[in-house]
């Protein structure tokens, strides 16, 4: 399967190129960066410490998409919307890891998904997607006097908060409890906040250093506390998940899919 990478010189872009090179049945069909990026013209292989492979980073996605079966996209919301239009035109699988997208952005992705398969998740790892299933089960099993709080920590360069993973876990908790995260999520606290509203799902965000991604969901009850956690040690786990998603998506009907579909966890949810 021919797979292209956009945002190729980013932290995830490099991990994605390395994962494609490491996967049987996958070949790198192109590496795209935005106009003016310092890495343009550099060889994709040497960018990730491998032998040169004759694929130079380009700012022209059209010929690359035309010669690809899928594109892996861990960039930024405005870039992802642009690439979604191009992937839809080329009828190729679009695997989206970009976080921080709005409801409005999501509607635009729905339009693109009428023409091609889109697989999008705030976290492409098996561990987090399994954690989401467990969080939903715990939220369902525990009575409402177990308060739910989602904690996350990431490296200091991360630009969106809470993380896509924290929101995914919050959604799972809300589903399990029969709550609505839009209405019941508490995303900031400062000053005299008053007591915790009943049925709230709270979020706490930490940023610093080089943390790849730590997430915990706490269920704080009367005299006891349950914590479900995931710690990402390396970006390669997200990249491997994204390549797996592309291989899974090949030949699928146009539409929206998630990592839960790819990993066969959707039924346990
Ligand atoms: N779902 C998952 O499993 C994971 C998701 N992520 C998400 O992936 C995204 C990228 O993360 P990360 O790799 O750390 O970020 P980086 O900033 O390292 O990389 C982002 C890449 O996208 C490019 N880019 C940004 N804006 C645009 C634009 N408007 N047009 C074209 N290219 C653009 C950047 O280019 P430039 O440098 O020129 O700005 C860069 O190459 C984030 O949203 C992050 O949350 C990250 C890890 C796992
Ligand atoms: O920006 C990151 O780095 C990460 N982003 C994703 C998120 O927002 O949850 C996934 C992972 O935690 C790393």
Q: Is 185 in the pocket of ligand 1 (CB under 6 A)?
A: no
Give the pLDDT confidence score for residue 263 in this predicted structure: 97
Asked if 110 contacts 86 with a C-beta cutoff of 8 angstroms, the reply is: no
Burial (CB count <10 Å: 0-12, 13-18, 19+), residue 33: buried
Q: Is 2 in the pocket of ligand 2 (CB under 6 A)?
A: no
Give the pLDDT confidence score for residue 186 in this predicted structure: 98
Q: Give the number of the ligand closest to the Cα of residue 7.
A: 1
pTM of the model: 0.98
Q: Whose CA is nearest to atom 11 of ligand 2?
A: 213
Q: Is 162 in the pocket of ligand 2 (CB under 6 A)?
A: no
Give the pLDDT confidence score for residue 269 in this predicted structure: 62
**CA 97 to centroid of ligand 1, rounded, Å:** 9
Query: What angle do helix axes 126-141 and 164-177 make, rounded to 10 degrees?
Result: 30
Catalytic residue among 14, 94, 136, 158: 158
Q: Is 76 in the pocket of ligand 1 (CB under 6 A)?
A: yes
Nearest to 115 by CA among 89, 97, 79: 89
Q: What pLDDT, in 10s, does the model give residues 252-268? A: 999 999 999 999 998 77
> Ligand 2 pocket: which of 123, 127, 171 to mutate (most atoms <8 Å of CB)?
123
Specify the DSSP class assigned to residue 106: H
- As a whole-number percent, the residues of the chain with pLDDT over 70 amount to 99
Asked if 201 contacts 173 with a C-beta cutoff of 8 angstroms, the reply is: yes
State how beta strands 2-6 and 185-186 pair.
Answer: unpaired
Q: Is 241 in the pocket of ligand 2 (CB under 6 A)?
A: no
Give the pLDDT confidence score for residue 267 in this predicted structure: 74
Instruction: Write down the ipTM of this complex.
Output: 0.99
Q: Is 123 in the pocket of ligand 1 (CB under 6 A)?
A: yes
Q: Is 78 in the pocket of ligand 1 (CB under 6 A)?
A: yes
158 has catalytic annotation: yes
CA distance 20 to 242: 9
Report long-range pairs for 259-266 (Cβ below 8 Å, ≥24 apart). Answer: 259/119, 259/121, 259/123, 259/124, 259/129, 260/121, 260/129, 260/132, 260/133, 261/119, 262/119, 263/126, 263/129, 263/130, 265/129, 265/130, 265/132, 265/133
What does the block give as tokens for 110?
């729905």
Q: Whose CA is nearest to atom 4 of ligand 2?
A: 213
Q: Whose CA is nearest to atom 34 of ligand 1?
A: 7
Catalytic residue among 14, 120, 136, 154: 154
**CA 249 to centroid of ligand 1, rounded, Å:** 22
154 has catalytic annotation: yes
Parts of the chain with a pLDDT under 50: none
CA distance 193 to 217: 21
* Dihedral sign from CA coordinates of 202, 118, 34, 6: positive
């Amino acid at each position: 399967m021919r797979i292209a990478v956009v945002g190729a010189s980013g932290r995830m872009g490099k991990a994605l190129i390395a994962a494609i090179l490491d996967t049987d049945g996958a070949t790198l069909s192109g590496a795209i960066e935005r106009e003016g990026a310092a890495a343009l013209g550099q060889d994709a292989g040497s960018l990730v410490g491998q032998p040169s492979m004759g694929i130079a980073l380009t700012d022209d996605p059209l010929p690359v998409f035309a010669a690809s079966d899928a594109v892996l996209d861990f960039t930024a919301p405005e870039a992802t919307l642009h690439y979604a239009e191009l992937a839809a035109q080329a009828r190729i699988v679009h695997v989206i890891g970009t976080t921080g997208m709005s409801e409005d952005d999501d509607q635009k992705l729905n339009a693109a998904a009428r023409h091609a398969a889109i697989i999008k998740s705030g976290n492409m790892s098996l561990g987090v997607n399994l954690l989401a299933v467990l969080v939903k089960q715990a939220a369902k099993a525990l009575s409402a006097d177990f308060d739910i709080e989602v904690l996350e920590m990431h490296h200091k360069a991360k630009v969106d908060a809470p993380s896509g993973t924290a929101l995914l876990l919050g959604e799972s908790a809300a589903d399990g409890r029969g709550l609505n995260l839009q209405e019941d999520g508490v995303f900031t606290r400062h000053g005299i906040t008053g007591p915790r509203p009943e049925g709230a799902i709270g979020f706490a965000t930490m940023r610093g250093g080089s943390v790849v991604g730590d997430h915990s969901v706490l269920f704080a009850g009367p005299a006891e506390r349950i914590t479900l956690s995931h710690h990402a040690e390396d970006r390669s786990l997200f990249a491997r998940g994204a390549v797996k998603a592309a291989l899974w998506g090949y030949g699928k009907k146009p539409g929206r899919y998630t990592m839960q579909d790819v990993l066969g966890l959707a039924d346990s949810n």
